[in-house]
Structure 1
Amino acid sequence: MGRKPKGTSARESTPMMRQYLAAKEQYKDFLLLFRVGDFYESFHDDARQVSEAINIVLTRRSNGGASEIPMAGFPFHAAEGYIAKLVQKGFKVAICDQVEDPSQAKGIVRREITDIVTPGVTYSEKILDGRQNNWLCSVAFSGSGRQKKAGIAFMDVTTAEFRIVEPRMDSLADMLQSIQPSEVLVSSREKGFRDALRKMLGSEILVTLQDEWMFTPDNARQILQKQFRTHSLKGFGIERAEAGSIAAAVILQYLEETQRQKLQYITRISLLDDSKYMTLDLQTRRNLEIVSSMQDGSEQGSLFRVVDHTCTPMGSRLLKNWLLHPLRQKAPIELRLDAVGELLQDGVLRGKLREMLKGMHDMERALARIATGRSVPREVLMMGKALEALPGFQSLLSDVSSRHLAALSSAISPLPDLARTISQAIDPEAGAGMREGGFIRSGCNDRLDELRSLSSHARERLLEIQQQERQRTSISTLKVQYNKVFGYYIEVSKANRDKVPDDYEKKQTLVNAERYTIPALKEYESAILTAEEEGIALELELFRELSAAIAKEAGTLQADASLVAELDCLASFAVAAEAYGYCKPLVTEGRGMRITEGRHPVLERILGVDEAYVANDCSFDEQERMRIVTGPNMAGKSSYLRQIGLITLLAQVGSFVPAASAEIGLVDRIFTRVGASDNLASGESTFLVEMHEAASILNNATPDSLILLDEVGRGTSTFDGMSIAWAMSEYIHTQLGARTLFATHYHELAELEERFAGIYNYNATVTESGDKVIFLRRIVRGASDNSYGIEVARMAGMPSMVIERAKELLAGMEKKDIEMSEHRSGTSAALPTQIYLFEEEERKLRRAIERLDLDRMTPIDALIELRKLQELASGEG
């Protein structure tokens, strides 16, 4: 990007192009938008990319000689929309503006880079979604070898939320996926890591390389202490988080490039403690459809869409963050649940609270725009109204019984003086525009009132001059008028031009009239235009001073906004609980779980009133740790697994849950392995992706985790798949001890119940009526012995000829399976062939396995060795 065509050296360029090339040299990796008059222009390769990206005409301009250069541009007043399109396509944009009045410039107009806009650094409402954060992320490392640590910092520049986290190296990908950044900053020394990031987050993610010197502990300490005006970082709890602090400092330096002195609104930074919050990996977020649907990636069909009844953008963003980072500690969960319970029971209180919330402006994003000079008067006025509303929240919540609601109320700081200052300064009729002035209230500034008085009397003075000149010239139709091109003038019809005095100076000739000026009118014009220009300039200065005063209170305003957002989330949970019949869960620190008549929160809403969702129970205790759930497709196995995961997640977020009753022992993580997908762009088949996900679960789950497995091993041959599923079940039960739900078509896994205490069989029930199968979607005790796959194929519309042939083949296979079992065992009561493999060859396999050093193998490597041993022991190898 930014390559100059042949023959275009700085020496050969015009003065303006030399200015452009100097700016482009500084911002090589950006599309440079260069202000020329009323347009933003791009040149050379940038012009080609801009033209193609936003579908505008590519033209050419002279470069001071015979050569011409490519050029593409758009009007500056429409810049936000065009820049939004560029950023949405993954470009970084540098804006080079005119920073002096062209009429006052001596030579070429001075220009400077005044802003950068990237996917992670934007304040544009055309790009941002008010209901979710836009994270700029940075990744840094400290130490080496086994002592190497990863640090992640992430900031939403529009809300000033700034956090760091230091995950384990093997959890780095999970953490980044849970953040969902729009842009990631890494050291230029970590170019290889850039490719790994794109693999983790998707090829469309923007990864920006930064200079290596920025990633040092000493530099980080200085940057952070300067930003937060402290002598140490102990007050933020990040003094020992070296890698995370480095990453945070890199973000601040990246912003400093263009924001310069406009970062004072960033007043807080906190450590995201993974002992307090649950990390949800990509597949769990996707499989449980927490914030987006697997179908099309939209919010429709997601848990977020069901429980989001928030009234403010601040509340909606916070709710999404809560769902993606559930709590892991009992005390804060119970505080939220008690608050939701009170708001649920007191409908009057909830109604008044939500009515007040509906009138609240997005304080967080308004503050960011105000502090960085991007705001308009109407937004400042709305900030003032939000501040005026804060005492009302305190009054409303003065008698609540919930400790959490009371604490939120008492923590609010209304800032009445600032609210009054804003009210006295900004005209209530102020709009979005500022170029014409008129947005500062009368009475706010004496000098402004004087200048306005002069302007306001313009009509009277014009009438005076008009009357005087009519009397002096005896031209009764003479008019004194004004337009933006010629200013103030006297218009006389051509029929009366012989009466025009000699001191009249002609300005313009029209078809039927002449336009003139006189010294008195010139003097008036100069005075009035000077007053208008000075008045607008003074208004802008007063507005900047007011914005600076608001920015000084950034810390308090951000805290107030967070408190309001939390009230919004709690009220939203109460609305959902009342509307959908949710119950208050009992959260314990044990490893048990007891859910009575649990429901899938999303599916029951999709089904609506026409079809009632079939509720099911689920329980875990020290005796029952794993459920093997068999049964046909469409019978409800997958929904059952997901509903348990979603009920657990909602409980640990602090929400009521869709069940008649629920007791949830805290889980540290929820793991899922559901469905079939591939990553062919990276050379990974469906089965390899499945095994990667399964390995991640086995390597990261703990006894406090909840594991949801759906159809593991279906991507390979029957024996391979069943072996993997069996071995995984054994490993989870004997080595991890985690609460596990395993839905499978391998009915042979029902044998596990007889072999291991704590594993129990359940099945999704069906009933047969004639040659049809009815799915009851009830999960009951016991194993299933039929997948009813042919019936599902019939329901899908498979041709009847195919269905009948499939039945014939199935009957033949089942007969052969029975015959083989009888031949090998000498009894008609033998287990099917697949189970015979485990029964008959078990001793040989176990002796061979004992010779393996399984402690040094990953679970998947061990499974591969197991398959080799199976083939050898059965004579296949």
Structure 2
Amino acid sequence: MNNSIFKEMEYNTITPMMQQYLSIKFQHKEQLLFYRMGDFYELFFEDAIIAAPILDIALTKRGQQDGQNIPMCGVPFHAAEIYLQKLIKKGFSVAICEQLETPQEAKKRSYKAVVRREVVRIITPGTLMEDVLLSPKSNNYLAAITNFKDNIAVAWVEISTGEFSVSSINESAISALLSNLSPQEVIVDDMLLKDEQIRNTLSVLNFVTPKPHSLFDLKRTQARLLNFFKINSLTGFDHFTQQEIAAAGCLLEYIQYTQKHSLPYLSKLKRINQDKFLLIDAMTKKHLEIEKNTLGGKNNSLLEVLDKTVTATGGRLLSRQLNFPLIDEKTINQRLNAVEVFFNNEELRGSLRKIMSNFPDVERALSRIYSRRCAPKDLNAVKEGILVSNQIAELLQCSKEDLNDYLESQLPQLALFYDLVDQLKEALNPELPVNIKDGGYIRPGYSPQLDNLINFKNNINLKIDELRDQYRFETGINNLKIQRNNVIGYFVEVTSLNNNKINSEKFIHRQSLGNVTRYITEDLKKLESELLVCDEKVLQLETSIFEELCELVIAKADSIVLSAVTIARLDFLASMAELAKQNNYVKPTVDSGENFIIKEGRHPVVELLMPKGEFTTNNCILEANNNFWLITGPNMAGKSTFLRQNAIIAIMAQIGSFVPADEAHIGIVDKIFSRIGSGDNIASGQSTFMVEMLETAYILNNATKNSLVILDEIGRGTSTYDGLSIAWSVIEYLHNINQSKVLFATHYHELNSLEETLSRLWCYNVLVQEWDGKTVFLHKVAKGRANKSYGIHVAELSGMPKEVIKRAYEILRQLSQ
């Protein structure tokens, strides 16, 4: 907004209401301001010009400033979430300015007083809490990044669930961590933006907000954390580094700034050691289509195939597990053994999943209750969630002999809360309104005082009905009505044909419309006044009861969250078993050895896109003496699918999932790297070949002996001899220096000779059958070397003109001679 509109000298030319607006807007220049006026949120000046086309609403005007019309648009307050969603998706943040008193209350202060207003919340992409603004099975992270003496820390929070974590990482791992979190908003120490690599990493994110380095001051941020959690020392949580405290504390300050006086529930700050998880960099996630397909959608992604969860909390947990696979042998096998229990017990699995399917999103409901931004449905969600938790506890208790120790250990975490759920059942009506101010959510019989007020209110309504009957008798107008609207209040309405029958002075004319005339009377106004007072008392008492119920829930918040997290865990494990049953997966053997053995492995996504049984399975046996496969063969023969499926099988095993194979023995992988496909990075001015080299350099600089590396067609983006030389050198480096497990696909048949000089490198090829002048790709990987590329055959399959194909074969024969 143009700063000139904030000048003091101009305040005399605009209304007091607009002066108030400008004063509030001056403090929120970075946000669009939703300014509450009655039943609408209004936007003015540049805010209106920006918002109107995005919201698809009319741009109008209200008053003038310096002789110019003031642009204005508005949205109904009851539908605000729909409009907010559109603005947030476009990357805007919105300041919500509410009325803190009614016009009547303002007039009691002064006849010309402007209604008090205040910004009660700033909505940003990373601070969403409403269901309509969030995806049920997706996490919505807000992150903060800072450094201290070259040590970088990333803190992240999900304010709709309370998850609050921090981690220290090296600069090369920032991209991978941010890719795993996919934060919707990032607060970054502006000192870090001097680093080109970090700037490039952050450039792909949607909503990055630089903040002064002073906001990350250690004393300031530590005090913020101590005050919020009401503790004297953070060591009771964990031993945090200085940069971790700075990142987490700055994140908390930003939450307090955006949420104002209504702070969300946050769990105790948890320190996450990234060395305990399988590292998958951003490009590898993209190549393997872990969460999204190549077009950015979720269809045909690994996540879509694996997701058999029946709860929102379970779905979000699955997403986290996929982004943070484990490398701890004990924990992985603990999960696999739990999945096996559900896999082998169909009755228990089915019963548990049926019960869990009724589990509401308690985490998000509780967070809204905690922040006092809740609706009656949120209390009801907690009630229903506790009931489901109790049912699950009873089911598992009755099935204890079928559980292993790990599953049995989950039972104490399913808190029962019989007293709380009984009170919520007694208090809440079965049918609930959308908003607290709508009233009618407290069940009759719960509060005698409320019942008396409602009975009194009902008696007034009966008196209004009696008054209507009296007026009908007095006037002889049988269709006389008593109705109400927000402008006049209660009124007597008669048709124009009967208007001449109203001759008593008690009927005071208020409004004439086309077919009806409206009147008020002193008796009706008296009853209306009594009714308004009663309505206000009913709403005040209902609100008070509602707040008391919220406090009861908040007092149990930690235990309720623990139950929700436990149910998410059970949902994840049972869903993995259901997935394995449906898709014929097997339990892998996972240990800390060097072997990576997959027998008759399948790609979990590709096989579902084909008729059942038609996917060609393949073995992949990487052992200490042959952990480098050099794979040759034509395009379209299945090399890339083979590479991807083995990386995906490793990820699945290390999240605790069964895998698509007849047999699998996974030596735990610490990092997975891939270089598959090609693409320019136009924004950074990088060619396809440069992108390929950057990705390959990253792999060579970071892969370890325990890493799995899949590479496809290294060196193809340059001349033949340059490309061959680069591929040759990369193979030698991976074999001799990194010593990783490697699947390397190539068209350079000359590389097959490396089998004689590199001890752990074995040559494999994708089988092709030639018969009766036809070429058939068998999609089978076998020991040996390919002697043809079949590139012209692939061109023929693409539908290229026959003349081009014929000429290509002629040229090939000439070159071969």
**Same fold per TM (> 0.5)?**
yes
The aligned runs of 1:716-735 (5 Å cut-off) are 716-735=718-737
In the other structure, the counterpart of 1:314 is: 313
Q: By how many angstroms is 1:675 displaced? A: 0.7
For the pair 1:424 / 2:426, whether they are aligned, the reply is yes
In the other structure, the counterpart of 2:76 is: 75
In the other structure, the counterpart of 1:100 is: 101
Secondary structure, counterpart of 1:579 in structure 2: helix
Residues 133 and 317 in structure 1, CA contact (< 8 A), matched pair in contact too: yes
Structure 1 stretch 700-709 or stretch 553-562: which is displaced more?
A: 553-562
In the other structure, the counterpart of 1:122 is: 128
In the other structure, the counterpart of 1:139 is: 145
Q: What is the RMSD computed on CA atoms of the aligned residues?
A: 2.4
CA distance in 1, matches of 2:21, 2:181: 37
In the other structure, the counterpart of 2:183 is: 181
Secondary structure, counterpart of 1:397 in structure 2: helix
CA distance in 1, matches of 2:489, 2:57: 36
In the other structure, the counterpart of 1:605 is: 608
Q: By how many angstroms is 1:463 displaced? A: 4.9
Q: By how many angstroms is 1:599 displaced? A: 0.9
Residues 265 and 552 in structure 1, CA contact (< 8 A), matched pair in contact too: no
CA distance in 2, matches of 1:804, 1:503: 102
Distance 1:703 1:477, change over 3 A: closer
Secondary structure, counterpart of 2:132 in structure 1: coil
For the pair 1:528 / 2:527, whether they are aligned, the reply is no
Residues 356 and 392 in structure 2, CA contact (< 8 A), matched pair in contact too: no
In the other structure, the counterpart of 1:339 is: 338
Q: Which amino acid aligns with 2:396?
A: L
Distance 1:50 1:2, change over 3 A: farther
CA distance in 2, matches of 1:715, 1:212: 42
In the other structure, the counterpart of 2:370 is: 371
In the other structure, the counterpart of 1:678 is: 680
In the other structure, the counterpart of 1:57 is: 58
Secondary structure, counterpart of 1:600 in structure 2: coil
Structure 1 stretch 64-73 or stretch 211-220: which is displaced more?
A: 64-73
CA distance in 2, matches of 1:390, 1:739: 44
Distance 1:438 1:721, change over 3 A: same
CA distance in 2, matches of 1:778, 1:299: 29
Q: By how many angstroms is 1:767 displaced? A: 0.7
Structure 1 stretch 170-179 or stretch 329-338: which is displaced more?
A: 170-179
Q: By how many angstroms is 1:513 displaced? A: 8.5
Residues 193 and 199 in structure 2, CA contact (< 8 A), matched pair in contact too: no
CA distance in 2, matches of 1:474, 1:291: 73
Q: Which amino acid aligns with 2:266?
A: I
The aligned runs of 1:416-815 (5 Å cut-off) are 416-465=418-467, 481-484=482-485, 485-488=487-490, 493-494=498-499, 496-497=501-502, 500=504, 519-609=522-612, 612-815=614-817
Distance 1:801 1:76, change over 3 A: same
Q: Which amino acid aligns with 1:163?
A: S
CA distance in 2, matches of 1:673, 1:608: 29
Q: Provide TM-score, normalisation by structure 2.
A: 0.94
The aligned runs of 1:240-251 (5 Å cut-off) are 240-251=240-251
Secondary structure, counterpart of 1:153 in structure 2: strand
CA distance in 1, matches of 2:622, 2:446: 68
Deviations 1:61-91 (A, max 9, x none): 3236633333233222222111111110011
Distance 1:551 1:425, change over 3 A: same
Residues 462 and 480 in structure 1, CA contact (< 8 A), matched pair in contact too: no
Distance 1:243 1:63, change over 3 A: same
Q: By how many angstroms is 1:265 displaced? A: 1.3
Q: By how many angstroms is 1:812 displaced? A: 2.0
Distance 1:100 1:441, change over 3 A: same
Residues 709 and 741 in structure 1, CA contact (< 8 A), matched pair in contact too: yes
Q: By how many angstroms is 1:514 displaced? A: 7.4
CA distance in 2, matches of 1:474, 1:138: 73
Residues 3 and 44 in structure 1, CA contact (< 8 A), matched pair in contact too: no
CA distance in 1, matches of 2:482, 2:51: 44
Distance 1:2 1:403, change over 3 A: farther
CA distance in 1, matches of 2:661, 2:32: 54
Q: By how many angstroms is 1:424 displaced? A: 1.7
Q: Which amino acid aligns with 2:175?
A: A
Deviations 1:785-843 (A, max 9, x none): 1111111111111111111211122222222xxxxxxxxxxxxxxxxxxxxxxxxxxxx
In the other structure, the counterpart of 2:288 is: 288
In the other structure, the counterpart of 1:841 is: none
Unpaired stretches in structure 2, ≥5 consecutive residues? none
CA distance in 2, matches of 1:429, 1:55: 33
CA distance in 2, matches of 1:536, 1:740: 68
CA distance in 1, matches of 2:491, 2:54: 48
The aligned runs of 1:221-300 (5 Å cut-off) are 221-237=222-238, 239-263=239-263, 265-294=265-294, 296-300=295-299
Q: Which amino acid aligns with 2:328?
A: Q
Residues 264 and 552 in structure 1, CA contact (< 8 A), matched pair in contact too: no
Q: Which amino acid aligns with 1:263?
A: L
In the other structure, the counterpart of 1:404 is: 406
CA distance in 2, matches of 1:706, 1:474: 92
Unpaired stretches in structure 1, ≥5 consecutive residues? 816-877
Q: By how many angstroms is 1:191 displaced? A: 4.5
Number of aligned positions between the proteins: 804
Residues 3 and 45 in structure 1, CA contact (< 8 A), matched pair in contact too: no
Residues 90 and 204 in structure 1, CA contact (< 8 A), matched pair in contact too: no
Q: Which amino acid aligns with 2:255?
A: L
Structure 1 stretch 635-644 or stretch 33-42: which is displaced more?
A: 33-42
CA distance in 2, matches of 1:361, 1:603: 33
CA distance in 1, matches of 2:290, 2:258: 36
Distance 1:814 1:48, change over 3 A: same
Secondary structure, counterpart of 2:310 in structure 1: coil
Q: By how many angstroms is 1:373 displaced? A: 2.8
Q: By how many angstroms is 1:412 displaced? A: 1.4
Residues 633 and 786 in structure 2, CA contact (< 8 A), matched pair in contact too: yes
Residues 465 and 480 in structure 1, CA contact (< 8 A), matched pair in contact too: no
Q: By how many angstroms is 1:663 displaced? A: 0.6
In the other structure, the counterpart of 1:818 is: none
Secondary structure, counterpart of 1:756 in structure 2: coil
Residues 433 and 439 in structure 2, CA contact (< 8 A), matched pair in contact too: no
Q: By how many angstroms is 1:209 displaced? A: 2.0
CA distance in 1, matches of 2:140, 2:14: 40
Q: Provide TM-score, normalisation by structure 1.
A: 0.88
State percent identity of aligned pairs.
37
Distance 1:21 1:523, change over 3 A: closer
CA distance in 1, matches of 2:713, 2:508: 93
Residues 335 and 403 in structure 1, CA contact (< 8 A), matched pair in contact too: no
In the other structure, the counterpart of 2:328 is: 329
Deviations 1:241-274 (A, max 9, x none): 2212211111111111132343251132211211
Distance 1:97 1:760, change over 3 A: same
Structure 1 stretch 555-564 or stretch 394-403: which is displaced more?
A: 394-403
In the other structure, the counterpart of 1:219 is: 220
Distance 1:168 1:111, change over 3 A: same
Distance 1:95 1:403, change over 3 A: same
